[in-house]
Amino acid sequence: MRNEPPNLFYRGSSMKGTFKPGDRLSIEKIPFGQIRKGDLIIFRKTLNDQAEFVVHRVKRITSKGLVTRGDNCHFNDKTKVTEHGIVGRVTGYDRNAKKFSAGNGLRGRLRAIRLHFQLHLRRLARLMLRKPYRALKRSGIVSRIWEPAISGILFQTPNGPLIKYINRDRVVANHWIEQNTWQCRRPYDLIVFKNSWFCG
């Protein structure tokens, strides 16, 4: 149907901790007046003249619309959701052939509070550990005691040759050769400067 989302599969990261990409969402139609704080709703958002569908949780209900926020977002959405934009409420999801409840209402609010608290704790920890981490990186100590088995694969891309470095089936670094640009995943960046063959 024209007014329905193109599919019911979640993608993105704004609801990390609640949904994973590929989760199949179950959506029910619900009158606007029955939506509660803590409910997971799917709504239309227009971006560059194109409608996209967003799944976020209702934080507050105001006379001008719903204030929403993703469970993995630091801040509330800037635009309030009106009755016209609502597609429905998420009641559950399927993951790996298993069904789960979405957690709405009070249960959803408590879940969001926990996830937002964890998000702020991680942010605080990153701020506090930034200087010690940089000092550890400059020291080169880690590269003397940790030598992970890493292999590189060369790809030809529209932006030129790219080497992907892999450890245990996981991409840990990317090197765009022509631009000499590196992107390393932590904690692999701790061995970056001592192992020029890896992230030099």
pLDDT at 189: 86
Q: Which residue has the higher pLDDT, 32 or 199?
A: 32
Q: Name residue 150's amino acid.
A: I
Does the pLDDT of residue 199 top 60, yes or no?
no
Q: What's the pLDDT band for 192 if we cut at 50, 70, 90?
A: low
Looking at the chain, the whole-number percentage of residues with pLDDT higher than 70 is 92
pLDDT digits (tens, 9 = 90+) for 129-161: 889 988 888 888 888 888 888 888 999 988 899
What 8-state DSSP symbol labels residue 23?
P
Helices (H), the chain: 105-139, 141-145, 196-199
CB-based burial, 61-83: b 16+ in 10 Å, e otherwise: beeebbbbbbbbbeeebeebbee
Handedness of CA 30, 35, 41, 42 (dihedral sign): positive
- Structural domains in the chain, CATH included, are 1-139 (2.10.109.10), 142-199 (no CATH)
* Amino acid 7: pLDDT: 54
Q: Which of 97, 93, 94, 39 is nearest to 68 (CA)?
A: 39
- C-alpha span between 100 and 65 (Å, rounded): 28
Calculate mean pLDDT across residues 115-129. Answer: 91
Decide: 55 and 10 in contact? Cβ < 8 Å.
yes
User: Is residue 19 very low, low, confident or very high in pLDDT (cuts 50, 70, 90)?
Assistant: very high
CA pair distance 147, 19, nearest whole angstrom: 34
- Residue 39: is its pLDDT beyond 90? yes
Write down the mean pLDDT value for the chain.
87
pLDDT score for 191: 81
pTM, two decimal places: 0.66
**Average pLDDT value for residue range 13-31:** 93
Question: So what's the pLDDT on residue 68?
Answer: 97
